[in-house]
Structure 1
Amino acid sequence: MDSQNASYQAGQAKAQTEEKASNMMDKACCAGQAAKETVKEGGSQMQDKATSAMDSVKEATGMNK
């Protein structure tokens, strides 16, 4: 009986470890996706600011006419 109990306990431990690993991978994936979106938003904001600055320069130099 001890052998069966030990085998059962080992199976339980393995299942718990696999579940924890899966959860950690999901969290890492979500963190990576959030970072990607943050960088993308930052890039869009920088592009908008550069366009605005360029328009301001054109307006100030009279090139916008």
Structure 2
Amino acid sequence: MNTENMSYQAGQAKAETKEKASSMADKASSAAQSAKESMEEAGAQMQAKARDTMDSMKDATGMNK
């Protein structure tokens, strides 16, 4: 194997590694975004439930008049 061929193969390996790293970073970013959206949705649901509970308590105690 000559040095030119070895250099070419090293360049190919480097490019493949860079592409795989980029793909993994994209997947991690996507997973983080999905987790963030899920947490925001869960928080909104909790707020709505708390609001409903407060309204129910106000209705039950006559404070909602």
Which of the five TM-score ranges fits, normalised by the shorter chain?
over 0.9
What TM-score comes out, normalization by structure 2 length? 0.98
Amino acid in the other structure paired with 2:12 = Q
Where in structure 2 are the equivalents of 1:1-65 lying within 5 Å? 2-65=2-65
* In 2, Cα distance between equivalents of 1:7 and 1:63: 80
Stretches of structure 1 lacking an aligned partner (at least 5 in a row): none
Aligned length: 65
What TM-score comes out, normalization by structure 1 length? 0.98
* In 2, Cα distance between equivalents of 1:2 and 1:22: 30
* In 2, Cα distance between equivalents of 1:63 and 1:9: 77
Stretches of structure 2 lacking an aligned partner (at least 5 in a row): none
